[in-house]
Structure 1
């Protein structure tokens, strides 16, 4: 008489039916590339992404358009100088980025959220930190990538101006000195603007909010500082003009280059900060860059949990 098994009780197979299938899995025995390789890869990927490389055609439109807009005025200046056989360029190397600050701000506003907000929105940051990359590696790679992309954007028109100046047979020593000063200026600008943009963009996973916030921070601060400087100049308080300039990123850069790089200032009256005030400008710039790095590191220590 057969005994009924309780429902759900496993039935032992008749005979030995165990099978081991070899599906080809093998342990990895290749080189372990480590954190440095991962950091370089993230940097390269982020730098390419800042110009839409490796992404859809739609993603390439704005950064490439802004790059062209930055370079076209320089090419026109070169053409005019060569055709008219001018003795100097229409615009100084150190002045070019200041004049084109709206384009630079728009680039930072569009690419800083693209660099970090997408990772926050899709919650991929903890995957980066799983192995072997760490918080500091992520922050350094993202910061360096955006700063490098911004440096390319701001240095390319200076290179066009320099090549055109040599083509027009302007003084080699003067043009080389001016070109070097311009590169120092845009390098500092790239670090400062990238840090501010990334800090603001890292707060929100919404790219649209990040873009609006970065534009507001860069443009409203400059508008407010310029207005206050104009009021101080109208009231004869010229001594306050330089100190007011400490509260806007673009006027900070202008103050540094007018104090130490021989640039003409955009401040009312064309008088920038003196040497002592210029030291304060340099310290504030470096302090803001260090603070941006510190805030990003603190932010991603929490996000990566």
Structure 2
């Protein structure tokens, strides 16, 4: 019998594996993978992409229609009072807006708090729950880049959420032919108030949300941190006001993020606070408020960096 012909050679090459003397059947198959030869955009591009993706995700953009429902409803709710105020000012030919630019942000804190409670866990808790954080840190992005991108994205989302109603108020004031210089100054100070509010509350919301991979727990923690202290401070301020202890009202405001912003905007941004007496902070209290706000921002950022340095991630 003639020997059987050899099988035709294929394009798949094989190479022996070290130690094949013991396991003669072990081979490595070359299946044609090639290295990436294109441009490598680096950390800056990756961080910027994470920022944009997180900012879009806060409003459900690029996600399912179901994810857009809550942020868009909240956005409509926070803008509706501004539109009503504008309509009233125009049709009644008012001499000034019924509600100031800074006061609008302070008065709408419950709605803004719900937005923070919904969006902060969306930004960080899901990454922890589904264990995708190590994928971000594989390369080239680092832990600090991740924290900065997420913090900046939530801050930007909050700023848009709070500043758009202020823009509506300003446009309405101009349509109502109110004093241009006064309204422009108030509008600029209102944007500063929105920015300060956004930076502080984004840090608090992210720190609370990053503490747990469970989105529900994150929502509850944020609502508790933002709501309970504010309610307690307001109640205590009302009590001491009834006892004519006016000096303690300002100091009590240090115990709540909302009252901190309220006090600063009334003293430094020409606003009116929601304290029982409506009086601005004293010259001694104002720098203390600013120091506490700065400490909270730095402290929440440091907590986030520490949270994402844990090896268990």
The reply to whether residue 159 of structure 1 matches residue 167 of structure 2 is yes
Shift in Å, 1:233? 1.1
> Equivalent residue for 2:73?
65
The reply to whether residue 96 of structure 1 matches residue 140 of structure 2 is no
Shift in Å, 1:276? 2.2
- Stretch deviating more after TM superposition (14-23 or 282-291): 14-23
Moved beyond 6 Å, runs of 4+:
14-18
In 1, distance between residues paired with 2:153 and 2:224?
23
Shift in Å, 1:23? 5.3
How many residues matched? 292
In 2, distance between residues paired with 1:23 and 1:104?
54
Kept after mapping to 2: 8 A contact 1:117/1:202? yes
TM-score, normalized by length of structure 1? 0.92
Shift in Å, 1:55? 1.0
The reply to whether residue 87 of structure 1 matches residue 95 of structure 2 is yes
Shift in Å, 1:17? 7.6
Shift in Å, 1:236? 1.8
TM-score, normalized by length of structure 2? 0.90
Q: Which residue among 240, 246, 252 is the counterpart of 1:238?
A: 246
Shift in Å, 1:294? 0.5
Spell out the pairing of 1:204-243 with structure 2 (5 A cutoff).
204-243=212-251
> Equivalent residue for 2:17?
none
Shift in Å, 1:24? 5.0
> Equivalent residue for 2:49?
41
> Equivalent residue for 2:143?
135
Shift in Å, 1:30? 1.4
Residue deviations 1:107-126 (CA, integer Å, cap 9, x gap): 00000001000001000001
Shift in Å, 1:173? 0.4
Unaligned segments of structure 2, at least 5 residues: 13-29
**Alpha carbon RMSD of aligned pairs, Å?**
1.6
Higher helix share: 1
The reply to whether residue 191 of structure 1 matches residue 199 of structure 2 is yes
Kept after mapping to 2: 8 A contact 1:126/1:304? no
In 1, distance between residues paired with 2:297 and 2:185?
26
Kept after mapping to 2: 8 A contact 1:135/1:304? no
The reply to whether residue 271 of structure 1 matches residue 308 of structure 2 is no
